[in-house]
Amino acid sequence: MGLLSKKDTKLILDPLADDNPITIQVLGICSALAITAQLKPSIVMAISVIFVLGIGNVVISLMRNIIPSKIRIIVQLIVVATLVIIVDQVLKAFAYELSKELSVFIGLIITNCIIMGRFEAFALGNGPWRSFLDGVGNALGYGVILIIVGFFRELLGSGTLFGFKVLGDSVEKTGLYAIGYENNGFMVLPPMALIVVGIIIWIQRSRNKALIEEN
């Protein structure tokens, strides 16, 4: 018997496609629009949410039988806030410039609908292992969309990836710029994030008509 059962595998794989928290559930859109102008902050935000949601789901699951119903939301907020503070301090210690770039958006993980939604919908009713898989799966689904959006926005808007020039030098007119290519400045503006996310939603739902009927 493998480490993951078929049901456990679905907890990780379903949020990557058929039940993606951004493209299907339409959650966590704010950060998808705000921090995806470059690929690096998109990846860091994705990793941060994987940590917070994975560990947070486990903590809430372990405490599920002792949390009074009337204060469960407060307890959940304390758990996620503690984990976000840990992430913020680690970023400030090891990637200070990036932490300044993400600034308030790391703090806004606390109010991310995906995290509170998984606490309520899954962690409060399941054991730690399955809650961990559910948290990681949903965070991966969220992170994949951020990375895709960040990849295209930085590549087409700045001609770079991770800050490195990959399409050539726009000043010296090398690479694609030698044949007349120009960066699309609109790609680095917030409205383009919404458009890119919309295109991803359209592609995904057009490939699966059942999702359109269901949602």
Residues of the chain with confidence (pLDDT) below 70: 1-3, 31, 208-215
Q: Which pLDDT belongs to residue 1?
A: 41
- Domain locations in the chain as residue ranges: 16-151
Q: Which pLDDT belongs to residue 50?
A: 94
- CA-CA distance, 99 to 79, in Å (whole number)? 21
pTM assigned to the model: 0.87
- CA-CA distance, 79 to 110, in Å (whole number)? 9
Q: Which pLDDT belongs to residue 214?
A: 54
C-beta separation of 11 from 135 below 8 A: no
- CA-CA distance, 158 to 183, in Å (whole number)? 6
